[in-house]
Amino acid sequence: MVTTPVPLRVAYDAAHGGRWTSLRGGGREWLWRGPASGRRDVRPDGAFVDAGGLEECLPTVRGLPDHGEVWSRPWRSAGPGTVVIERPTFTLSRRITDDCGVVVADYRLAADPGHRFVWAAHALLDLSPTARLDAPAGTPTRLHPEAAALLPPGAWRDGDPWLTGSWPTPAGLTLDTLGPDDGTALGAVLLDCPRVQVYDGDDRLTLELECAGQPRSTALWRNLGGWPEDCPYRSIGVEPMLGSAFDLADAGPADAAVVPATGEVTWRLTISAHRIH
């Protein structure tokens, strides 16, 4: 396989949750734009508005508040490419650069030692029905409760927050193909999986998460026209993640990131693109 790098450029909206609004390169926009209106009118801890792009989810993804505390609040500028949001229990800063066409986002979370959190870069991607997600075969993968309806009767025990199987076919469900649309929607978390690649036609997008001493995962939201129930549409989320549970309330001792004695956690998200010839 012969590939050439495709320079990427990023744009974001600090005033509205620090949301990434564009990830563009090689004539392609990678970030999907959703059908929901009213994103700019969101109030803190309001109902989630699925506008697309990449939303910063912290300190939870699901649960309360839905998609976390920081997506619905303004961030302040703290220098070139740098934004900060301060909350009662933590402060998060993010610096994004796209030098040489590779997007690098450096994060720093400051909080009291022992503070637990889940973070996800909730990236909704504009992908064709032939796209696929490449991750190491055999990666332990947690299916979440909406997958129960797709499994044989009795496969899911009542009350369990997830069911674990092996990528790419946990519990017999093929998840690496991102189409065609079939009216299903499910979420999954690939455990100890800090690097994945998305293939779509001649394009490849690589997402990699670096963070010492914390659980690193990749979350998948594969909505093939199965959600929301009243007006379903297609949306695909590939989400580098600290932690291994969507909902912080479900996270066991090893399922969330934990602030160490230093009072801070730092991590880096790197996104690059290539074209296949």
Antiparallel, parallel or unpaired: β 233-242 and 116-117: unpaired
The full set of domains in the chain, from first to last, is 3-276 (2.70.98.10)
pLDDT digits (tens, 9 = 90+) for 192-235: 999 999 999 999 999 999 999 999 999 999 999 999 999 999 99
User: Average pLDDT of the chain?
Assistant: 97
Q: How far apart are the first and last CA of the chain?
A: 7
Confidence category of residue 171, pLDDT binned at 50, 70, 90? very high
pTM score above 0.85: yes
* Arithmetic mean of pLDDT, 55-80: 97
- What confidence score (pLDDT) does residue 35 get? 84
Antiparallel, parallel or unpaired: β 54-57 and 119-125: antiparallel
Q: Residue 256 — φ and ψ, nearest 5°?
A: -130, 155
pLDDT digits (tens, 9 = 90+) for 110-157: 999 999 999 999 999 999 999 999 999 999 999 999 999 999 999 999
Q: Kindly tell me the sign of the dihedral angle through the C-alpha atoms of 37, 120, 206, 12.
A: positive
* Largest Cα span, the chain: 55
Structure tokens at 262: 């230093």
Confidence category of residue 175, pLDDT binned at 50, 70, 90? very high
Structure tokens at 62: 């699901």
Q: pLDDT > 90: what percent of the chain? A: 97
Q: Please say whether the beta carbons of 18 and 58 come within 8 A.
A: no
pLDDT digits (tens, 9 = 90+) for 71-115: 999 999 999 999 999 999 999 999 999 989 999 999 999 999 999
DSSP letters, the chain, are --EEEE--EEEEEGGGTTEEEEEEETTEE-B-B-S---GGG--TT------BSEEEEBS-SBSSSTTBSSTTS--EE-STTEEEEE-SSEEEEEEEE-GGG-EEEEEEEEE-TT-EE-EEEEEEE---TT-EEE--TT-EEEE-GGGGGGS-TTSS-TT-S-EEEETT-GGG---SB--S--SEEEEEEETT--EEEEEETTEEEEEEEE-TTS-EEEEEEEEEEEESSSS-EEEEEEEEEESS-SBGGG--TTSSEE--TTSEEEEEEEEEEEEE-
